[in-house]
Chains A and B, each alone.
Chain A
Amino acid sequence: MIVALVVAIALQTTLARFFARGAIAIDLVLVTVVYVALTSGPTTGLLTGTFAGLVQDALSSSVIGIGGLAKTIVGFLAGVIGTQFIVSQSVPRFVVFFGATIVNAVVFMGLYVLLDLRHFDAPYAAVGWQAGANALVGVLAFQVAELLPGAVERRRASRHRIRR
Chain B
Amino acid sequence: MAVLDIRQRSGYLFLGVILGHILLISAQVNSRAGVPVLETVTFGIFSEVQRTLSGGVSGIRHTWGNYVGLRNVKAENEELKRQLAALQVSMQEQRALADRARGFQQLLELRDHLALATTAAEIIGAAASPDFRTLTIDKGVRDGLRPDMAVIAPEGVVGRLVRPSARAAKVQLLIDRNAAAGVLIERTRAQGVVVGSGEDRLQMQYVSEASDLAIGDTVVTSGIDAIYPKGLVVGRVELVEKNGPAFKRIVVKPAVDFSRLEEVLVVLTPSPAKESASGVSE
Chain A: residues with CB nearer than 8 A to chain B? 41-43, 46-47, 50, 63-66, 68-69, 72-73, 76, 79, 111, 115-117
Q: Do the beta carbons of B22 and A69 come within 8 Å of each other?
A: yes
Q: Do the beta carbons of A46 and B29 come within 8 Å of each other?
A: no
Q: Do the beta carbons of B10 and A69 come within 8 Å of each other?
A: no
Chain B: residues with CB nearer than 8 A to chain A? 6-7, 10, 13-14, 17-18, 21-22, 24-25, 28-29, 32, 37
Q: Do the beta carbons of B18 and A43 come within 8 Å of each other?
A: no
**Chain A residues with Cβ under 8 A from B6's Cβ?**
43
For residue A128, give the distance in angstroms from its CB to the closest CB of chain B: 26
A119, B18: Cα distance in complex, Å:
23
Q: Which 8 A-B pairs have the closest CB atoms?
A: A65-B24, A69-B21, A65-B25, A43-B10, A42-B10, A65-B21, A43-B7, A76-B14
For residue A65, give the distance in angstroms from its CB to the closest CB of chain B: 4
Q: List 17 A-B contacts (CB under 8 A).
A: A41-B7, A42-B10, A43-B6, A43-B7, A46-B10, A50-B21, A64-B25, A64-B28, A65-B28, A66-B25, A72-B17, A72-B18, A76-B10, A76-B14, A115-B29, A116-B32, A117-B29
For residue B127, give the distance in angstroms from its CB to the closest CB of chain A: 98
Residue of A nearest to B9 (CB): A43
For residue A49, give the distance in angstroms from its CB to the closest CB of chain B: 9
Residue of B nearest to A73 (CB): B18
Q: Apart from A46-B13, A63-B29, A116-B32, what are 9 other A-B pairs with CB-CB below 8 Å?
A: A63-B25, A63-B28, A65-B22, A65-B24, A65-B28, A68-B24, A69-B18, A72-B17, A115-B25
For residue B122, give the distance in angstroms from its CB to the closest CB of chain A: 89
**Chain B residues with Cβ under 8 A from A117's Cβ?**
29
A66, B18: Cα distance in complex, Å:
10
A26, B13: Cα distance in complex, Å:
29
**Chain A residues with Cβ under 8 A from B37's Cβ?**
115
- A41 touches which one: B10, B22, B24 (CB < 8 A)? B10
A41, B13: Cα distance in complex, Å:
13
A64, B25: Cα distance in complex, Å:
6
For residue A45, give the distance in angstroms from its CB to the closest CB of chain B: 9
A63, B17: Cα distance in complex, Å:
16
